[in-house]
Amino acid sequence: MTPMEINGSINLVGYGLAVIGSGIGVGLIFASVIQGTARQPEARGAMMGTAWIGFAVVEALAILGLAFALFLG
């Protein structure tokens, strides 16, 4: 059997590795929100507002990675 031929850019593998960090970060943010909500349910609104901003900041790294992987290749 001939080995399978794979085409494409190795950048995408690097991008896949890079988003592990963002994935863990986003997971930590929402894990904390869930914990906080369980401890103090009435503070949920204030926590969610902060959480979305934090989520956006962490996710920005993954999005920068996407841009670099696709366009600087």
Residues that bind another protein in the complex, under the rule CB under 8 A:
1, 4-5, 49, 52-53, 55-57, 59-60, 62-64, 66-67, 70
18 token code pair: 């890079």
* Closer of 36 and 59 to another protein (Cβ): 59
We find the least distance from the C-beta atom of residue 48 to another protein, in angstroms, to be 10
Q: What is the C-alpha separation between 25 and 69, in angstroms, rounded?
A: 20
Sign of CA dihedral 23, 25, 30, 31: positive
- Kindly state the smallest distance separating residue 38's Cβ from another protein, in Å: 23
| CB-CB contact of 26 with 56 (8 Å) | no
28 vs 64 by CB, closer to another protein: 64
